[in-house]
Structure 1
């Protein structure tokens, strides 16, 4: 089978296309014939060594993907050969990700893809959608799970509504019944955020976010999904409702942040860091189940018309796909395996 591998950290030139024998699934594992591999910022960061990297002799990159089960290991009862699945954390604490024709993963990380849902949608979930799910479920007063009506009456502020996590957060929040405000950096990105389902968009490069949010939600916003806590902590504290949650999942804009003391304790704010790789199996399984339910309801489409433009590369050009993500390509970068 064809696979993309690297043996030492570095820029995208360390990636090479090779032939390898497909692995056999062990107990509790399945093998998936990958159709589409999704690329996330953590994939290129792991490759260059800025995030944790286990000492494997050879690594196949990429955490997310979608495909068809083609072999089932001992003890697996809920998946069978021929099942269409979406994959998450395929390479987490393992050397083999989805940038290859066949990948072996723990069965829990291969989730049935509902009938009629495209493989491109499946490969666009994983890290972004599960991160968004976690960010929306850390409020002190819940909900711990998402479903239609779970966020009814709540207002959600999504910073960076045109990004992959922001896009998923908008879609999941709207599916759960919330009113969604998204901040963006251009009219084109505002169009994408509205296409994803945002009720309101605010261009933070030309508008006063605090004033605009105050007009839309005079009692404050209940959930904030934050991509740049270093830049936005003061504004987040100002616009948050009493008992609001600020869930930040990235370090865009700096390594540290300062939160104003009086408004944050006066409002009983919960400030929650979110890193999908370390939240644990319970949170993964809850997110996978709720995301699949949203898929069944048609709530997570992708493509420019749905607010998430897709940029495609063939497997042999995985290095270019990694570069595209590193350079900030808007939307989702996918590899056709």
Structure 2
């Protein structure tokens, strides 16, 4: 089979397209013929060695993807062969991800994908959707699971609604019944967040964004899904309701975070820092189940008309796909795997 591999950390140039043996699934595993591989910032950061030291002599990257199960290992129902699936956390603790014609994962990391949902949708879930799910389910006064009506009466602020996680946050929050506000940096990103389903858009670079958000939500925001905590903390605290939650999954821009302890004591602020690698199997399983339900309801579409433009590359140009993500491409970067 064809696979992208790297043996040393470094820039996108370390990625090579090579022939490798088709893997065989072991006990509790399934083999998936990959149709589309999704690229996330964590994929290039892992390749670059920016997060943790490389664990394996050779790595095939990418946590997320979608395809069809074509073989199962011991203990797995053979009836799953032929099932369309989306994959998440494929390289967590493993050297082989979805940037290949075939990959092997634990059976519970391959989630059924309805026939009505494209492989593009499936490959765009994974990290963004599960991160968004976690952000929306950590509030002390909110639900631990998502379903229609679970967030009725709640106000969610999706920072950076034009990004992949922001997009998933908007979609899941709206599906669960929340009023969704998204902050954006300009009109084009505002159009994308609106297309994703945000009820209200606030340009944080214009006027008084805190006053604009308070005009929409006079009692404050219940949950903030935050992508740039250092840059946005003052705004978040200005609009957060008492006992509200700020769930942060990134600190884009790298601005240091300084907390006013008295202010947060008075607000009874709940901060939740999150990353999927250490969130725990229970949270991952709950997220996968709820996201699958949202997909089945048609609540997670992708494409420019749904607020998430798709930027595509063939497998042999995975290095360019990584560069696109590193350079902040708007939308979801996908790698098409040849059949």
Q: TM-score, normalised by structure 1?
A: 0.98
Measured after TM superposition, the shift of residue 75 of structure 1 is 1.1
Task: Render the CA deviation track for 1:130-184: whole Å, top value 9, x for unaligned.
Answer: 0000000000023000000000000000110100000000000000000000000
CA contact (8 A) 1:234 1:258 kept: no
CA contact (8 A) 2:193 2:201 kept: yes
Aligned equivalents of 2:207 and 2:169: distance in 1? 22
1:46 correspondence with 2:52 = no
Aligned equivalents of 1:162 and 1:207: distance in 2? 20
CA contact (8 A) 1:138 1:247 kept: yes
CA contact (8 A) 2:231 2:255 kept: no
Task: Render the CA deviation track for 1:39-83: whole Å, top value 9, x for unaligned.
Answer: 000101000100124431110011000000011011123861100
CA contact (8 A) 2:41 2:326 kept: yes
Ranges of 4+ aligned residues in structure 1 off by more than 6 Å: none
Aligned equivalents of 2:310 and 2:236: distance in 1? 30
Residue-pair matches, total: 337
2:5 — aligned with what? 5
CA contact (8 A) 2:170 2:198 kept: yes
Distance 1:116 1:254, change over 3 A: same
Aligned equivalents of 2:53 and 2:90: distance in 1? 14
Aligned equivalents of 1:284 and 1:77: distance in 2? 22
CA contact (8 A) 2:91 2:97 kept: yes
1:261 — aligned with what? 261
Aligned equivalents of 1:208 and 1:58: distance in 2? 50
Structure 1 stretch displaced more, 271-280 or 70-79 = 70-79
Report 1:142-157 matches (<5 A). 142-157=142-157
1:168 — aligned with what? 168
Gapped regions of structure 1 (runs ≥ 5) = none
Aligned equivalents of 2:138 and 2:326: distance in 1? 29
Aligned equivalents of 2:48 and 2:89: distance in 1? 18
CA contact (8 A) 1:44 1:326 kept: yes
1:208 — aligned with what? 208
Aligned equivalents of 1:156 and 1:209: distance in 2? 15
1:329 — aligned with what? 329
